[in-house]
Amino acid sequence: MINQSLFTLNRRRLLQMGTGAIAITALPGLALADEKAFQASRKAAFGNTPINEGRVEVTLPPIAENGNSVPITVKVDSPMTDASHVKRIVILSPRNPVPDMSHYKLGPYTGRAEVSTRIRLAGTQSIEAIAEMNDGSLWSGSKSTVVTLAACAIL
Amino acid sequence: MSSIRISIPETAEAGEVIEIKTLIQHPMESGFGRGARGQVIPRDIIQTFTCDYNGTTVFEAKFFPSTAANPFLTFFTRATKSGALTFTWTDLVGETWVETRNLIVSE
Amino acid sequence: MRASLIILALAIVGCSQQTNQPNANYETLDEVISGYAFLQPETQALQDDEFSNPGYLWVDKGEALFNEPAANGQSCASCHTDEDRSLIGASTHFPKYDERAGTLINIEGRINLCRVTHQSVPKLEYESEHLLALTTYVANLSKGSRVAGELSPKVQSNYDNGQAYFNMRRGQFNLSCAQCHDDNAGKSLRGDTISQGHSNGFPTYRLEWQTLGSLHKRFQYCDIGVRAEPLPGGSQTYIDLEYFLANRGRGLQVETPAVRR
């Protein structure tokens, strides 16, 4: 993804100008996170604990007409009781300049393991949410979205 | 003056899980954007958000540049006792915005 | 998804009764459709949600400013009281000819006129946070009312000027407003569907701006888009264009604060 051809970038920049960007734009390619940074963020948040797939449901629109504000909901399958609950949710992006998107702390008092917000997407990608349970286990889910106009490429 | 909107029910039953929505006016400058003359616009984001319920933190969020301008959140908490819910947003330089709402809980 | 969009578009057109109205001044569009119909469902949902639509941050702020007295003790609400309710539907008649100003003015101009004459405070700068908030609050009072788009002989020349601007090719791309919004509305321009270019949702929260902006800011972005020199916000030609658009979009419901791409 990082090796997107310059041709594509130029076309995109031309396109933005055509659709009304007011001035110079940042080169999106230079600021994109790579796989290494993404893995580093994962490790910084959770160390070497293995991450299981499942129990986490990410909801995103299939197409985002503007990457500046995309609704996302993360739901974790948990009874949210003292005995079994979600402690933490981390949302990560493989393509934004900063892989960490947002972190949440929850507990049994939260009642329901669900959070919604609006995020920026610097391009088409698959967003991952990882939940840490009170027993220390980690679970993840992801969802991909096609961004028709990248957020960091427009003013 | 930052405009803030908070939605919580006025009343709840003890043990009921209530939905809370918050919206605050903030540009969430990512630090990657550029101005009209090509200059980098410095990063200016809300970094943390907390919701305290009768003095106990029940929900906490940490934001990064990926959070959209005018940060919006929906989350939940379990109603226990009547009291105050305090919402605090803090930006990178430590400026805070605080709002409080009262919840009446019938037992 | 597409089917529901089309149904929605038809519903909006059906409500507007625009197709049955004789319109001597505007004949190009067969049916008048709000920009809302050209949005994806998630963006429509954001506009419809009166809590999370970020435009309401400015409605709230505008309401507070509306009730805030100036140094002379006068607030907007001193004259425009709750009982009076005169501002409900008011924005549907703007821009309009103002006797005192002796010219065509828009809501922003009217707010500034009231500030100077009744509150003895200076005019607010165009596109300033406070003028945007007040304009959004006032326009929001008319949400759901239909754009009146009246024509007055007193401002016929303004109408003509606005129409001329709409149809004039300009900029390095040599494009007029009409070439996109009349001739090609509904067609795709890369990832976007071209709307008819109506003004019924302004001031509008645009995802591209990540903030709320005035109709004149939208004009500036269009002018820059075709590589033309934008005019200053509040300039008479933009007010004339706004007047022309109000007539062109006559019958559409006010959606302020709308959400657009």
Note the Cα B67 to chain centre separation in Å: 12
Interface test with A, best of C42, C174, C224 (most A CBs within 10 A): C42
Catalytic positions of C, written as ranges: 222
- pLDDT for C5: 43
Tell me the C-alpha distance between C129 and C131, whole Å. Answer: 6
Residues 6+ apart with CB under 8 A from C225: A17, A18, A19, A20, C173
Residues 6+ apart with CB under 8 A from C233: C126, C127, C214, C216, C217, C220
A117 and B66 within 8 Å at the Cβ level: the answer is no
The proportion of chain A whose per-residue pLDDT surpasses 70, expressed as a percent, equals 75
Interface contact C57, partner B, CB < 8 A = yes
Interface contact A20, partner C, CB < 8 A = yes
3-state class (DSSP) for residue C188: strand
Instruction: Write the pLDDT tens digit of every residue in C147-206.
Output: 998 899 999 999 999 999 999 999 999 999 999 999 999 888 877 788 999 999 999 999
Interface test with B, best of C43, C56, C57 (most B CBs within 10 A): C57
Chains that touch B (3 or more CB pairs under 8 A): A, C
The ipTM, to two decimals, is 0.94
- pLDDT for A101: 96
B75 and A93 within 8 Å at the Cβ level: the answer is no
Residues in chain A: 155
Instruction: Write the pLDDT tens digit of every residue in A35-89.
Output: 888 888 988 999 889 999 999 999 999 999 889 999 999 999 999 999 999 999 9
DSSP assignment of A131-153: EEETTS-EEEEEEEEEESS-GGG
Instruction: Write the pLDDT tens digit of every residue in B58-88.
Output: 999 999 999 999 999 999 999 999 999 999 9
Closest Cα of chain B to A71: distance in Å? 9
B68 and A69 within 8 Å at the Cβ level: the answer is yes
Residue C209 Rama label (left phi>0; alpha psi -120 to 50; beta): alpha
Cα–Cα–Cα angle for A65, A69, A75, rounded to 5 degrees: 105
Tell me the C-alpha distance between C54 and B24, whole Å. Answer: 8
b vs e for C168-204, b when ≥16 Cβ sit within 10 Å of the residue's Cβ?
A: eeebeeebbbbebbbeebeeeeeebbbbbbbbbbbbb
Interface contact B81, partner A, CB < 8 A = no
B34 and A107 within 8 Å at the Cβ level: the answer is no
Has residue A127 got a pLDDT over 60?
Answer: yes
DSSP assignment of A58-106: EE--SEES-TTSEEEEEEE----SSSS-EEEEEEE-SSSSSSEEEEEE-
Helices C56-66 and C129-140 cross at an angle (nearest 10°) of 100
| CA-closest candidate to residue A120, choices A77, A74, A64, A43 | A64
Residues 6+ apart with CB under 8 A from A12: A28, A150, A153
B66 and A109 within 8 Å at the Cβ level: the answer is no
Residue B9 tokens, joined? 């029910």
Interface contact C58, partner B, CB < 8 A = yes
Tell me the C-alpha distance between C194 and B96, whole Å. Answer: 41
Cis link prior to C153 (omega < 30° from 0)? no
Greatest Cα pair distance in chain C = 56
Instruction: Write the pLDDT tens digit of every residue in C67-81.
Output: 999 999 999 999 998
Instruction: Name the one residue in this structure whose structure tokens are 């809302």.
Output: C36
- pLDDT for B107: 79
A68 and C208 within 8 Å at the Cβ level: the answer is yes
A154 and C208 within 8 Å at the Cβ level: the answer is yes
Q: Which of C57, C210, C211 sits opposite B5 (nearest CB)?
A: C57
Has residue A120 got a pLDDT over 60?
Answer: yes
Q: Yes or no: say if C243 and C95 are a contact pair by the CB < 8 Å rule.
A: yes
Q: Yes or no: say if B105 and B79 are a contact pair by the CB < 8 Å rule.
A: yes
Residue A81 tokens, joined? 């009781």
Q: Yes or no: say if A153 and A28 are a contact pair by the CB < 8 Å rule.
A: yes
b vs e for B73-104, b when ≥16 Cβ sit within 10 Å of the residue's Cβ?
A: bbbbbbbbeebebbbbbbbeeeeebeeeeebe
pTM summary value: 0.86
Q: Yes or no: say if A26 and A153 are a contact pair by the CB < 8 Å rule.
A: yes
Instruction: Write the pLDDT tens digit of every residue in C192-232.
Output: 788 999 999 999 999 999 999 999 999 999 999 899 999 99
C58 and B23 within 8 Å at the Cβ level: the answer is no
Tell me the C-alpha distance between C87 and C134, whole Å. Answer: 12
Residue with the larger pLDDT of the pair A112 and C23:
A112
Distance from first CA to last CA of chain B, Å, rounded? 38
Chain B residues whose beta carbon lies within 8 Å of the beta carbon of residue A102: 61-64, 66-67
Region A13-31 average pLDDT: 41
Has residue A7 got a pLDDT over 70?
Answer: no
Tell me the C-alpha distance between C5 and A75, whole Å. Answer: 28
- pLDDT for A12: 45
Number of Cβ within a 10 Å radius of residue C30: 9
- pLDDT for C83: 76
Instruction: Write the pLDDT tens digit of every residue in B3-41.
Output: 999 999 999 999 999 999 999 999 999 998 888 888 999
- pLDDT for A74: 98
Chain B residues whose beta carbon lies within 8 Å of the beta carbon of residue C54: 23, 25, 69-70, 72
Instruction: State the average pLDDT for chain C.
Output: 88
Closest Cα of chain C to A21: distance in Å? 7
Has residue C107 got a pLDDT over 50?
Answer: yes
Q: Which of A93, A110, A155 sits opposite B59 (nearest CB)?
A: A110
Instruction: State the average pLDDT for chain A.
Output: 81
Query: Chain B: residue nearest C52 by CA?
Result: B23
Has residue A5 got a pLDDT over 70?
Answer: no
